[in-house]
Structure 1
């Protein structure tokens, strides 16, 4: 046990979650659950991977041999899905392999094993809620347009720091307005801000009209962020280790079982 983990007071386990407290704040992780998954599938001694997915690999539903035991594949993916409750860093990778539950192939299984190899290097990562935290809400939103090679559908991802407004209202917390929402798509920002563009896109009123109404109400303000600083990128596409680790360092995750 390192000096970092000694300052944390551990609470009880609940449904695979562990809560640890210190003067710095609160940690919610699933380290034991993660280690159990690695042991069950024989990855406790594997060489760790530095990211949960390979950005050079595109998964398809009709390439490669079918997995002989799809039940084991489905069990693994189900366990990984539960682990995403405290591990947003594997959310996109798990979402990708979850698309092939009916007829998994060995390429899909290898992608799932890549997630396990990544988890081997950081099983103790968890959500960190600092005690000294300003009462403000920040959001990052990103969409990878038509990136699915099978359906040509887009993948949308977002992350919201702190709590949602209605939860804060219930807790009687005063959150300063407006909430900054960061996007790396200038066209999307102009579409939401400019009434002339807005009138030409009435067919998307559920999305665009609602956002514009919130801007007018002073609830949110849209700001451009360069793609290299877009934290939601890790929820919409596989990243190379460098950009992935930069985003990871800003996601509010902490590993108390590993010296920083």
Structure 2
């Protein structure tokens, strides 16, 4: 450690001691969060182990949640007295400003009506299209063309790989309220190192699709059954380069979509049954097990493997770690039910679909479209 430039000292080897963190220093954000979290814990809040910026408090049947982003806080819950109380404590300690009912937060637009709460990123999408010059582009009905096969060396290298990475990064953020973009973004994010012109063309199609669905987002209805249910699906050997499968799952709390993912498998699956079984394992680990949940799978073999301990020898090559789905099913932590392929909601997370199938599954995914 050395003295800052311009500081004169009569004694050699002297340094400054930081007694109070100042805004703008590297230590400032850490010190601020440490002070704020310590204060919230003293009020009886518990910090989440999954997201350290989330604090919750449960008292009898009352629940309060507090989410932090630097110095912006969101309060939610069914205990109005607790919400008023924690506001008063925060104001006494830090001098806060109450902005009222949540309408906009980090690019997320929140709206309420008699049907429920809607989340979308319309302004974020408009800014993305404006910055890329696609605000007046011709819209397309789907984010990707069916049967498109992107791979590492399918055309010449794109002239500006940094621009490609920046655009994919912005697409990743918009998937917070747009699960319909998850598969396309997952495909494009594989080529961040050396994108080609064909990859960039596929990216521009996603932008044109966003132009076609600016106000699209998620609807969380006011009336819904209290039941955890999920859909899991896989598209075997869909990657032309590695021949790995793409799995997708979506988890619902009643009719509200709360979790989803489109992901390439880390290993090659030898059969469609193995690919579906791996996807089932990933989904089964995402379910909170206070009450039995429901998982839907459209592959008979994968369901048989999960239900039958001594299923035929062709399953012996599947790693032991994958059989956690079977263990959870035997412990009655969830019920595994069949579903027709055309009704498989997670299908939209594993492959590019025709417009008819795509728009048939969108409402089932909890995605709504508003005039935009």
Residues 180 and 82 (structure 1 numbering): CA distance in 2 closer, same or farther, change over 3 Å? same
Give 1:67's match in structure 2, choosing from 158, 162, 166: 158
- Bigger mean CA offset, 192-201 vs 182-191: 192-201
| Aligned twin of 2:63 | none
Provide, for residues 82-112 of structure 1, a one-character-per-residue CA deviation record: whole Å limited to 9, x for no partner: 1001100010001111111111111000100
Larger radius of gyration: 2
Cα offset, 1:62, TM superposition: 0.6
Alignment of 1:239 with 2:353, yes or no, is yes
Structure 2: which 5+ residue stretches go unaligned?
1-99, 259-285
Q: Structure 1's 165 and 60: CA in aligned 2 closer, same or farther, altered over 3 A? A: closer
Counterpart in the other structure of 1:57? 148
1:91 to 182, 193, 209: 182
1:147 to 234, 238, 257: 238
Instruction: Give the Cα separation in 2 of the matches to 1:116 and 1:165.
Output: 33
Q: Aligned partners of 2:348, 2:147: CA distance in 1, in Å?
A: 15
Normalized per residue, the structure richer in helix is 1
User: Which of the pair has the greater relative contact order for Cα pairs under 8 Å at 6+ separation?
Assistant: 1
**TM-score of the superposed pair, with normalisation by structure 2:** 0.61
Aligned residues: 241
Partner SS state of residue 223, structure 1: strand
Instruction: List per-residue Cα deviations over 1:108-132 (Å, max 9, x = no partner).
Output: 0010011011111111111111110
Name the structure 2 match of 1:188. Answer: 302
Partner of 2:336: 222
Aligned equivalents of 2:317 and 2:190: distance in 1? 32
Matches within 5 A, 1:61-210: 61-162=152-253, 166=288, 177-197=291-311, 201=316, 203-208=318-323, 210=324
In the TM superposition, structure 1's runs of 4+ consecutive aligned residues that sit over 6 Å from their partners are none
Contact 1:27 1:126 in 2 (8 A): yes
Task: Give the CA RMSD over aligned residues.
Answer: 2.0
Q: TM-score, normalised by structure 1?
A: 0.87
